[in-house]
Structure 1
Amino acid sequence: MSPSKRFFGELISEFIAVVIIIAFGDSVAAMYVLYDPSPYANAYWGVAIVWGLGVTIAIYVTGAVSGTHANPAVTISLALFRGFSWRKVPLYCLAQIAGGFAGAALVYLNFAPVIDHYNAVHHFSRYLDGGASGVFFTHPGLAVTPLHSLVVQIVLTALLLLGIFAVTCHYNTMAPQANSGALIIGLIVAAIGASSGYLDAWAINPARDFGPRLFAWCAGWGPSAIPAPGNYWWVPIIGPITGGIIGAGIYQYLVRPFMPRFHPGEAHALSSPNNPDIPVC
């Protein structure tokens, strides 16, 4: 297969991966937000686990093609610390955001009548009140300001990337074996959501928030989506990218050098057997 054709396949893979994540994740958000009583009102772990399973399924579907970054914070961190090609980074990120947009469109296709009913019952407007916008994108929660949410996003995404780098590290003898890493990464996402999701809906992924936010802006939510109250739209972009770099750097420089199988003289990054441009450690 030619390099250009393979790269095109990687971009399609990243697009599909985020479509899958948003199709499951925003749908469970719709179940949580739009229905009264909510089926998840007293079982928030169910919301978190669906988001995590969405990530797991996306990895199983697309991981052999692109490695399933599915997150610009992951892509940038891999380029910084594991030798992923910087030339690919912009298009990977664009494919991921496009996947977020398309995934939100699928959710809207399913839930549009319920969204309209919810807004009518509560006398909400999409444009003025952001009615039902929590289905698609994130907001600061109770007592959380946009600037505090920036801190939250940095911390949570640092934990995510710390976990991802550990799970995918060739030198880590405690990492899950075979293909079980996809399940563990999904559980990391679920654990973050279950422990901290009420702070600001745990975006931890610029494509997960900005792609659906852009769709919502186009679908009538307007300024409720972008720039959003408090000019919040940029927080789930800058926070996760910053936090991802921090978490990946912590693993790469403070944990990996002390792994029992690590040898500093070896190559900076190993590659997956299916795609030499997908770093695994």
Structure 2
Amino acid sequence: MTQRIQVALGQVRPVLGDVGKNVDKHLEWMEEARRRGADVVVFPELGLTGYQVMDLTLEVARPLSHPDITRLVRESRGIDVVFSFVEESEAHLFHIASVYASGGDIRAVHRKVYLPTYGMFDEGRYLAAGSGFHTFQSRLGQTGMLICEDAWHVSSPYLLALGGATCLVLPSASPARNVMEQGDFGSQAFWRQLLQVYAQLFGVYIVFVNRVGFEDGVSFFGGSGVVSPLGEWVYEAPSIEEGLYTAEIDPGVIRRARYGTPMLRDERADLVWRALGRLVDGGWRG
């Protein structure tokens, strides 16, 4: 795949608990992204529901077959879309999920594996954890999805890279914390550095889309963007400001990066497998 891909970053401000209104905004922005010539538009974590759902979970949760979800999937005939919501399974488990839709069909669903339940976060109290990571083919190439906290565990992008991913899509709802002297946020600086390392280490593009707005006194910093396999921010959206921003992915950069820094080529998955087996069995020493 050599053709460059235009990606739209939907840095929205969701309305907490109003799924219908958020769906309408997603559809409006999808149409605008089409007009701008985007191939794919990505929205943030829980963009259809708002983040602090807590006791609203039963009200906002939707199965994949719900009309609110099928409306968005149906509109993916003209542009691929990644959107996120609280998904209710047939067994009535509630997951933070991201859907990749294309051509009017669902191509992939990722359910957030790592639920932060510490400090200001309480996801594990209301929601169920996903069971793993997988890759799939999309306009972005071989693609893997993460959701926010998933990326704070190095095994997540590692497994997707070993699974063949050349692009990681990362919807997020990360708060603005620790204001720094230059007006930046400590949480934002951490994300920026973390994603640069991952992109360069694994030779992948990373599409990071973080929400903005306030909920229950919590501010979300935005700062969405695209990081290249060279560890460079191809584009970084403004902090705090709601908006639809566009960036370009050049698959040729993946080829050059992986040739120049062949970390994946030299990776010893067999060694990792044996070491993890020893750790699980409690026999690491010796």
TM-score normalized by structure 2?
Answer: 0.27
Q: Highest relative contact order (Cα 8 Å, sep 6+), 1 or 2?
A: 1
More strand by proportion, 1 or 2? Answer: 2
TM-score normalized by structure 1?
Answer: 0.28
